[in-house]
Amino acid sequence: MIKFLDLTAINTSFEPDLSQAVQRVVSSGWYLLGDEVNSFEKEYATYIGTKHCIGVANGLDALRLILKAYIELGVMHKGDEIIVPANTYIASILAISENKLKPILIEPDINTYNIDPYLIENKITERTKGIMIVHLYGQNAMHPEIQRLVDKYDLKLIEDNAQAQGCFFRDKRTGSLGHAAGHSFYPGKNLGALGDAGAVTTNDDEIASIIRSLANYGSTKKYINDFQGLNSRLDEIQAAVLSIKLKRLDIDNQKRREIAQYYCDNITNPAITLPVINQTSVITDTISHVWHLFVIRHPNRYLLQKYLSDNEIQTLIHYPIPPHKQGAYKECNNLSFPIAEQIHEEVLSLPISPIINDLEVEKIVEMINFFNID
Ligand SMILES: *Cc1c(COP(=O)(O)O)cnc(C)c1O
Ligand 1 center–CA 39 separation, angstroms: 23
Helix (H) or strand (E) segment spanning residue 199: strand 198-202
Q: State the DSSP code for 14.
A: T
Confidence at residue 280, expressed as pLDDT on a 0 to 100 scale: 53
Using CA positions, which residue lies closest to atom 7 of ligand 1?
Answer: 59
Output the CA 162–ligand 1 centroid distance in Å: 5
3-state SS of 132-167 is: EEECHHHECCCCHHHHHHHHHHCCEEEEECCCCCCC
The pLDDT tens digits of the residues spanning 86-107 come to: 999 999 999 999 999 999 999 9
User: How confident is the model over 223-259, as pLDDT tens digits?
Assistant: 899 999 999 999 999 999 999 999 999 999 999 999 9
Is 296's C-beta closer than 6 angstroms to any atom of ligand 1?
no
Q: For 341, list phi and psi in degrees, rounded to 5.
A: -65, -40
Q: Ligand 1 in contact with 115 (CB < 6 A)?
A: no
Dist. CA 173 → ligand 1 center (Å): 18
Alpha helices, H only, the chain: 7-12, 17-28, 35-48, 59-72, 90-98, 144-153, 205-214, 236-246, 249-266, 301-310, 338-346, 358-370
**Residue type, position 125, single letter:** T
What DSSP character marks residue 118? G
For β-strands 347-350 and 294-297, DSSP reports them as antiparallel
- Per-residue DSSP letter, 173: E
- Angular region, 195: left φ>0, alpha ψ -120 to 50, beta rest: left
Those residues of the chain that have pLDDT short of 70 are 277-284, 374
Cβ of 160 closer than 6 Å to ligand 1, yes or no, is yes
Shortest-distance Cα residue to atom 12 of ligand 1: 162
Tell me how far apart the alpha carbons of residues 97 and 119 are, in angstroms, rounded to a whole number.
21
Please tell me if the CB atom of residue 162 comes closer than 6 angstroms to any atom of ligand 1.
Answer: yes
User: Each residue of 310-339: pLDDT tens digit?
Assistant: 999 999 999 999 999 999 999 999 999 999
pLDDT of residue 285: 72
